Chain A
C-alpha cells in the first residue's frame, strides 16, 4: 500500500483490517462482496457444517463432531437458563446465533491471511445495538412502565434515588457502547499486537524472540476469542434477564 523504505522496520498493524472488494478494484458499495463478507460467510458455513452436518446422524451415542455441537448447545442453553430463567429460553436461538457467529468469526480470524469481521466496530456495534434495542423493546412490552423500575433503586434511601436513577440511566445507555467496543477492541488489539511482533521479525537478531512472542500471543488470542464470545453472550443474557425481570 504505502511506499516502504527498504531495510527498515515497517509497522502496518492496522492494514490487516482494511476492507477490500473481493473481486477486482473499485469502491465499496453497500452490496459489494468484500473480504469481510467472505469471512462472515465462511463463519456461517462453518456453523452450518458443525451444527447441521455434524449432527446429521442424530446418534444417541454421538461421534466427535456431534459431541462438539452438543457441547456448544448445552453450554449456551445452560447459560440462558441459569441467567434468565425458564422464560428466557424463548430467546435461546438468537443468543445461540450471536454466540456461534462471534465464536466462529473470532476463530476464523485467527487463521493466517484471514480477516476478522468482529474486529470492526461497525459489526460489533450492530450486534450490540440489536441486543440493546431488542432488550429495551422487550422490557417495555413485557413489563410496561414497570420496566422503568430498573432505574429506580427501591432499596436505596429516598434522597439518593434520583441520583442513582441518573447513574443507572447513563450506565444503561453505555451498555451497547462497552458491549461492542469490548469485543472489537479485544480482537483488534490482539491482532495488532501480533502484527507488531511480526514486524520486529524483519530484524534477524530479534527474530527468534519475535517468533516466540507471536506464538505466546497467539495462544492468548485463542483464549481471548473464546472468552470474548462467552462474555458477549453472557452479557446478552444478563441484559435479557433485566428486561424480563426488572426488579432491582
Chain B
C-alpha cells in the first residue's frame, strides 16, 4: 500500500512546479511549457512540501470566484426577473382558479338546493290542491248521497206507512170477517140446539168473547 501511495509523489511534483513556474512566468505567457520542461527535470524532494490538492491551488481562485459571481448574477437575474414571478403567478392563478371553481360549485349547489326547494313546494302545492279537489268532490258526493238516502228513506217510510195502513185495513177486515163468521157460526149453533135465536144477544155474546181474542 505504501509503495502504491508513493506514486502520488510525481503528480505532486509536477503540479507544484506548474504552480510555481506559472506564478513566476505569468508575464511571459508561456508558463505551461516552461513548467513541463522544469517539472520533468525536477527533483522529487521538492514536491513533498507543495500543494497537491487542486482545491488548494490558489492561482485558480480568482478565476473561480470571478466566474462564480458572474454565473450567480446571471442565475439571480433570470430567477428574480423571469422564472420566479412566472411560477409564483402560475401557482397563485391556480389557487385562484381552484377557489373560484370551489365558489362556483358552492353557488351551483345553492342553486340546486333552491331548485329542489321550489320543486318540493310545487309538489306540496299540487298535493294540497289535489286534496282540496278530493275533499270538494267528496263533499259533493256526500251531499248527493245524503239527498239520495233521505229520498230513499222518505220513500221507504211512505211505503211502510202505506203498507201499515193496508195491513191495518186487512187486519180490520179480517177481524170483521172473523166476527161475522163467529156470529154466523154461533147463530147456526144456537139454532141447531133448538134455541130461540135472538140475534142481538148472540152478537153481544160473541163480541164479549172475541174482545179478548181479537185485538
A and B touch in the complex (CB under 8 A): yes
Give the residues in chain A near B4, CB-CB below 8 Å: 8-9, 11
Interface string of B83-113 (1 = CB under 8 A from A): 1101111110110010000000000000000
**Which residues 1-52 of A have a CB within 8 angstroms of B?**
1-5, 8-12, 14-15, 17-19, 25-34, 36-37, 40-41, 43-44, 47-48, 51-52
Count contacts on A: residues with CB < 8 A to the other chain.
Answer: 63
B52 CB to closest chain A CB (Å) equals: 7
Give the residues in chain B near A123, CB-CB below 8 Å: 64-65, 68
Q: Is B78 part of the contact surface with A, judged by Cβ < 8 Å? A: yes
In the complex the two chains form, is A51's CB within 8 Å of B91's CB?
Answer: no
In the complex the two chains form, is B72's CB within 8 Å of A97's CB?
Answer: yes
B109 CB to closest chain A CB (Å) equals: 23
Q: Is B59 part of the contact surface with A, judged by Cβ < 8 Å? A: yes
30 of the cross-chain contacts (CB-CB < 8 Å) are A2-B10, A8-B7, A9-B4, A10-B7, A11-B7, A15-B54, A18-B15, A25-B33, A26-B29, A27-B22, A29-B63, A34-B67, A37-B71, A47-B83, A51-B84, A55-B83, A55-B86, A60-B97, A70-B87, A73-B91, A97-B72, A97-B79, A100-B75, A101-B75, A120-B55, A121-B55, A122-B55, A122-B68, A126-B65, A188-B55
9 additional contacts (CB under 8 A) given A11-B5, A30-B63: A9-B4, A26-B31, A36-B64, A60-B97, A97-B75, A100-B79, A119-B55, A120-B64, A126-B64
Residues of A within 8 A of B (CB): 1-5, 8-12, 14-15, 17-19, 25-34, 36-37, 40-41, 43-44, 47-48, 51-52, 55, 58-60, 62, 66, 69-70, 73-74, 92-94, 96-97, 100-101, 117, 119-123, 126-127, 130, 184, 188
